[in-house]
Chain A
Amino acid sequence: MMDSGFDRRDFLKVLGWGGTTAALGGCGFTSMEDGKETVVSYVEAKDYMIPSISVYYNSTCTQCDMGCSISGRVREGRVLKLEGNPESAINRGKLCGLGQAGVQHHYNPDRVREPLLRTGSKSGETITWEKAYGLIAEKLNGVSGEEIAFLTGGMSGHLKVLMGNYLDSFGCKNHFVYEAIAPAVVRAANKKSYGVEMPRISINKAKVVLSFGADFLGSWVSPVHFSQQYAQFRKGVNGQRGVLIQVESKMTLTGANADRWLAVRPGTEGILALGIINALGTATGDVAAAVKGYDKVRVSKDTGVSAEQIDKIAALLKARTPSLVLVGSAAEGYAHGSQNAAAINLLNQVLGNVGKTVEAAASVPFPQMAPALGNTAALQGLNKGLAEGKFKVLFNYAANPVFTAPAAMKFKDNMAKAGFKVVFAHYLDETALQADLVLPLDSGLEDWGSHVPEYMAEGAQINIQQPLMEKIHANTRGMGDILLSLVKQRRSEDYKKYADYYAYLRDALLKNKDAFGGKGIDDDVFWDDTLSKGIVKLAGSTGALSAKASAAGLTLPAPAAIDAQFPLQLIPSVNHSLRDGRNTNQPWLQESPDPLTTIVWDSWVEIHPKKAAELGIAEGDIVEITSKNGSIKVQAYLFPGIHPDVISVPLGRGHEAMGRYAKDYGVNPFLILDAIFDKETGELAMHETRVKVSKTGQKVIVVKDEGPAGGRQMGKKIAPRLPTDKVDFSKEV
């Protein structure tokens, strides 16, 4: 019946006729769905439980370590969305995208639900908690404290106290606190320069912020807090809008918001800082002597920043005070990172910012609860012990070293040498897959806890973490509960009065309620009030900052020569959501475009268009990046915000496990990093890896959000920009 004369137009006409007549037969039905669904009400409801009206509970976000306080919207017993808790001075009611994805961590379908015993069998057999605890006790029997190791991420609050007590019960001192991406060099440098590891900075009080790679709007220290300070900074002090200058080798989110972004030769940030001190001309004493050799010509040659630019920066810093100088990747990236940081901190002191925009932070008067801060040097220590076969029992919590350790460290092989490996995990990530026993944890929204943030925004505070709903999976346990059970095995007398971690936490907080502003208040009232607020504010102590500008011990190496065999420098970049890869299995974060490249669901290598033209690389070419320690294949993306001798691959993707949303997406640049460490602190120098790039001949289409125009406005006024001298801010509201 269908001959070749029947074309598309006829087909549509026929469809139309048929459709109309069929539609005539559709009357007489209602859309009401009586009897189709079940409506289940409460058995016993509290007064405030009214269907469709949300109740908000305050807790602490655990997506990164900064300890923002959250307010969870709970309806009919399910947490639906997280907002910021206005009570916290750190995030003041705001919450970043990573924090929003906390619900996807909680409801993730790939969470571990049962204790898994994996010795021998690849998939593991499910065992009971009793058996698991029994097994741990058995393996610890007769083992001395030196033969036990605990690897954790950063910890603070009562969990840290309990952990300390547990380790103490063995006489074990092997608590390795590891963070794959941590401002550890900055902390050490701050301690030397100012006397405190993490001073309180006031971006909003500064008229000029000069940041050496500190991505304070993205992933550096406390971005939620700093972003709010930044907003005030832009509105200006006395009507004068703040100026942001960012100096780095690869553009970060903060760099994209700078008034002036300067591409600097990698590793030479310290030289630039000394050059600016020289150009200021105000230094005296040993500082003046130290910077004498850093004249504009020399500095310009070494760093790639023009002499004119150096003059402009010095002039601006002189004219507008107070200013603020920050150090980020300049410190963490290099073997001489500590020296870089010292030089940059020196600039702050010479400018007189200490005491104005760099101040002492409040600290909680309970040092045992103060955060144990993670760094990469800790992993070296653990790795060494594992390689020597020292550890009979290894515990791992809130760290994924098999994913984040450079392959050169051979961590996976060394971990296999440990006798019995217990991993406390939310998901079966790379490290959990190497464990003998995997114990499933409550999610961050199901657990109790207390946290002392590293960066104290205003006064001292302790963040309370409380469950926002009942456990989804019956057999997960909170880390506090697990530790309590374990410590009861060793010190049952001391802890037997605590039925669970909740009782322990409540007791511990109530014991000190006078210090928390609860003097004379009934225990229950104080506890309810604390939970309701989600934070405990207390009168903290503030140390003094030393403002002495001293160049003692400051020696900066000359800029490194280019290795002919590995001519490019690899900068593994830190995306503000994915970070070290702990949250990659949250699909909103995978689908959220990288702000600078707009690429989703995959890794990429950023190459400057000039360098790409030299190498004959176009967008979408699969290139192989080879270092001395391995190679990765990844799609190329031409990116103008990078030094031509540098390429950049983002961290956080390239998982081989960790669930359906993380596995097999992208590549993991952690693996090919050279094992080069900062000389002073022993921190992994993240930007020191030298690589070469070669085409593989394969090509893909880059999956990104920017569309074919690629960031061009095609002549339309879409995202224009005004210079400050053409704007009248005075009328603004």
Chain B
Amino acid sequence: MSVTTLLEGWSDWRHEHPINDQPHNPYKWAMSIDLDACTGCNACSVACYAENNLPVVGKEKYAHGQVMHWLRIERYWDEDGREFPDQGARFLPMMCQQCEAAPCETVCPVGATNHTPDGLNSQIYNRCIGSRYCSANCPFKVRYFNWYDYPTTDNVWPAEMNQQLNPDVTVRGKGVMEKCTFCVQRLREAESNAKSQGRVVRDGEVQTACQQVCLPGAITFGNLVDPESKVHKKWQAQQVELAKDVQAKDKEEGGSKLRGYRILEELRPYPSVMYLERVRDSAI
């Protein structure tokens, strides 16, 4: 029993989940976001509001940081002290990374957040008691708490606007945590339809709301364990592996020429979202 074996065993145990004799069989949902294609237009964020019954909190609550955008576009500037940002800005769509070894899952006092066999980090609203430990632990800060009872708050869903609510998604009340679900309602519907036909969901058959609306097609979503899926091929081409905290290509001298990376990988949550680095031309 060497130290290496111990550490590897620990590493494996970190992202083993109780529900699984057969994890990721037949689905492991993952995403790849091309930051070079992302224009920062925020269409994905608005589409998420539409699909998932996200409440609009208004100016005052926004100022208190109580906004509910499951998918936010972060904008970064270059930090080289030049007078103008003459290579533009960098946009990063950030949503729940559906980590395999999620820091949030281990700390929920009531087990409201778990790992599903198809590789998602689940959030069960009716079990949540609102301790908010999970959001404290999340390094990406993608968990949002319902500080108010938005269904009964004025002007959130006034008459007629409440008819727009998606009946497939629970409308959350006060005191529960919520976060991006990779549009699990769409996934379940697609899985059910596929199962009625005796098959597995094909690549491209189900799309998350953000992927569907992304104008330059920066978001690729699909089944990571399906060798024919785009997202599998992308992860493979970028040599990023799900259950590794340091990718082989990053150990290379001088860094790799591949664009794929995961955010805060060094914290070892094994996120299911891979990003492709933004590129700026060196010719101009």
Contact = CB atoms under 8 A, between A and B. Distances in A.
Whether A and B touch (Cβ < 8 Å) is answered with: yes
A702 B159 CA distance: 31
A728 B40 contact: no
Contact of B277 (A593, A721, A733): A721
B74 interface: yes
Contact of A723 (B90, B167, B168, B281): B281
A725 interface: yes
B59 A224 contact: no
Nearest to B167: A75
Interface stretch (B4-12, B195-203, B214-222): B214-222
A178 B59 CA distance: 32
Interface in A403-458: none
Pick the 10 closest A-B CB pairs, nearest first.
A231-B216, A97-B46, A227-B215, A728-B257, A601-B59, A259-B281, A723-B282, A256-B89, A97-B43, A587-B56
A227 B279 contact: no
Interface string B68-88: 010011111111000111111
A251 interface: yes
Interface stretch (B19-27, B111-119, B145-153, B230-238): B230-238
Contact of B166 (A81, A576, A596, A726): A81
A731 B258 contact: yes
A330 B106 CA distance: 55
A14 interface: no
Given A96-B41, A218-B41, A591-B62, A259 B212 contact: no
Given A108-B160, A726-B282, 15 more contacts: A104-B161, A104-B164, A230-B39, A243-B284, A246-B88, A260-B86, A261-B85, A261-B86, A262-B86, A595-B41, A595-B42, A600-B59, A703-B63, A726-B255, A731-B238
Contacts of B178: none
B89 A101 contact: no
Contacts of B63: 701, 703
Interface stretch (A348-356, A379-387, A709-717): A709-717
B263 interface: yes
A323 to B, nearest CB: 12
B40 A595 contact: yes
Contacts of B234: 732-733
Contacts of B158: 109
A591 B67 contact: yes
Given A218-B41, A253-B39, A726-B257, A641 B216 contact: no
Contacts of B171: none
Nearest to B160: A107
A720 B45 contact: no
Contact of B213 (A83, A234, A590, A600): A83
Contact of B280 (A227, A602, A721): A721
A31 to B, nearest CB: 9
Interface in B31-53: 35-37, 39-43, 45-47, 49-51
A602 B46 contact: no
Interface residues of A, number: 95
A543 interface: no
Nearest to A717: B261
15 contacts: A81-B51, A81-B164, A230-B216, A257-B91, A577-B42, A593-B72, A595-B91, A641-B84, A720-B277, A721-B78, A722-B278, A723-B282, A724-B281, A726-B257, A731-B238
B103 to A, nearest CB: 16
Interface in A462-506: 472
Interface string B154-173: 01001111011111100000
A358 B207 CA distance: 34
B109 interface: no
Given A256-B88, A588-B56, A713 B79 contact: yes
A253 B41 contact: yes
Contacts of A732: 234, 237-238, 259, 276
A44 B78 CA distance: 61
A574 interface: no
Contacts of B259: 722, 727, 732
Interface string B236-263: 0110000000000000000101110101
Max chain A C-beta neighbours (<10 A), residue from B62, B261, B278: B62
A83 B209 CA distance: 9
A83 B212 contact: yes
B282 A724 contact: yes
Contacts of A679: none
A85 to B, nearest CB: 12
Contacts of A718: 74, 76, 92, 263-264
B227 interface: no
Given A97-B43, A588-B49, A712-B79, A640 B85 contact: yes
Contact of A97 (B47, B58, B91): B47
A576 B77 contact: no
Given A711-B75, A719-B76, A107 B161 contact: yes
B209 to A, nearest CB: 8
Contacts of A79: 164
A303 interface: no
A87 interface: no
A716 B264 CA distance: 7
B187 interface: no
A108 B31 CA distance: 34
Interface in A647-661: 660-661
A662 interface: no
B138 interface: no
Contact of A592 (B37, B46, B58, B161): B46
Contacts of B59: 600-602, 665, 703
B163 A78 contact: yes
A262 B83 CA distance: 11
Given A104-B164, A589-B46, A719-B35, A217 B62 contact: no
Contacts of B284: 243, 245, 259-260, 312-313, 316
A224 B215 contact: yes
Interface in A310-339: 312-313, 316
Contacts of B213: 83-84, 94-97, 100
Max chain A C-beta neighbours (<10 A), residue from B35, B67, B77, B215: B215
Contacts of B92: 718-719
A168 interface: no
Contact of A713 (B76, B161, B282): B76
A234 B43 contact: no
A259 B163 contact: no
Given A109-B158, A727-B259, A217 B41 contact: yes
A243 B283 contact: yes
B190 interface: no
Interface in B116-159: 155, 158-159
Contact of A257 (B88, B160, B161, B276): B88
Contacts of A701: 63
B107 interface: no
Nearest to B217: A231
A593 B261 contact: no
Interface in A352-391: none
B88 A259 contact: yes
Nearest to B232: A733
B57 interface: yes
Given A259-B88, A719-B74, A721-B78, A660 B280 contact: no
Contacts of B73: 593, 595
Interface in A236-279: 241, 243, 245-246, 251, 253-263
Given A596-B75, A703-B63, A721-B279, A588 B257 contact: no
A449 B74 CA distance: 39
A530 interface: no
Nearest to B84: A263
Contacts of B78: 721
A596 B85 CA distance: 12
Contacts of A661: 155
Contacts of B159: 109
A461 B281 CA distance: 37
